[in-house]
Structure formats: C-alpha cells, structure tokens
Amino acid sequence: MLIKVCGMTRADNIRQVESLGIDMIGFIFYPKSPRCVHEVPDYLPVRARRVGVFVNESEAEMLRIARLFDLDYLQLHGEESPAQCRSLRSAGYPVIKSVTVATAPAYGAAADLLLFDTPTPAYGGSGERFDWAELQQYRGDTPFLLSGGISPDSVAAIRAFRHPRFVGIDLNSRFESAPGFKDPVLLGSFLAAINPA
C-alpha cells in the first residue's frame, strides 16, 4: 500500500516523516491553505517521492515550482481539465488528479493516479471522511489513492476496504499537532498497525 503524507512544511519534520518509510510527501502550493509552502525548506525528501499540490494554478507556474522543488508528481486539486492533465504529463510530470466518483471517468486516461477526497469548498484538508462505499461505483482502470479524514482510528476501515484499483492512502490533518506539522509518533504507530510485520 502506497503511503502519502501531505501538507509538509518544515525541514526537520519532513526528515522525521520520511524516515518512517513514507512513499510520497506532498507540498501544498495553494495560497489559501494553512499548509502552503512559501519557500524551499532546508531539507527535501531524497527517498520519498515529492508531490506538488496545486489548485487552479497556471501551467507555467506549476512547471516553475516543479523545477524549483524537483518534484516527482503534480497533484491537481481544483477544476483542472483533462486537457491540462495531459499537457503536464507531456511536459514530463506524472499527474495525480483529485476527483469524485462522478468526475473520475473524464480523467482516467489523463492522470497517472486518481485521488478520492472529501469534497469541500476549501479544496481538501477538511478532516472529514466521505462514504467509501460510493467508490464501488468506480469502474475505471486508473489506480487511486484514498483521502479525506483518514485518522489514527481508521486502521480497521482501511484494512477492510476492497477495490481492485485501490493502491494507497493520503494522510494529512488528522496526524498533525499543528497545521503543517505531522506527529511522527502518531504516524509511526498508525503505519505499524496498517502494515504489521
């Protein structure tokens, strides 16, 4: 199972979280987010894949930031079109697109990964979970990450969840001691429970 931790901001915390064996670390570049990154931290992941999260941003600005942070993935969390996704992929960046079950079919061929999150006017970070049973309606071929309100108490629900295209989870606000600062002890305990040795 892929583990993505999103909304990282501080160098020391990024290093701590990466040491837990996380697969992807997300950096939010949406100015209205309390987890927005405004400058390059003193430490960036060297093993975990770097994901830049954008909301309705121009392609030129996304590519500029992607080069600055040496990003591995671009995650689009707004109303970006399938054509925009394809354009970014043609520029050499794999794309993760946040979708709903209703919008997923339009993006299947335009994204490398889909992300099902709880719909919110703030474009994520609500800390609220949606009804995962809705995802049984998803019949596409593109693999997806599950997001939205996943907490330390979600272990049993995640281990029970079944879908042929489910490949991982995206963790954020429920593992924080402050916006943008993840609790490595909480994360470590959760990961041990999700993937017991």
Task: Just list the catalytic residues.
Answer: 6, 117
Q: Report the alpha-carbon distance of residue 88 to residue 110 in Å, rounded.
A: 10
CB 95 within 8 A of CB 112: yes
Q: How far is residue 32 from each of residues 39, 54, 123, 177, measured CA to CA in Å?
A: 15, 11, 10, 20
88: three-class secondary structure by DSSP: helix
CB 14 within 8 A of CB 39: no
Residues β-bridged to residue 36:
28
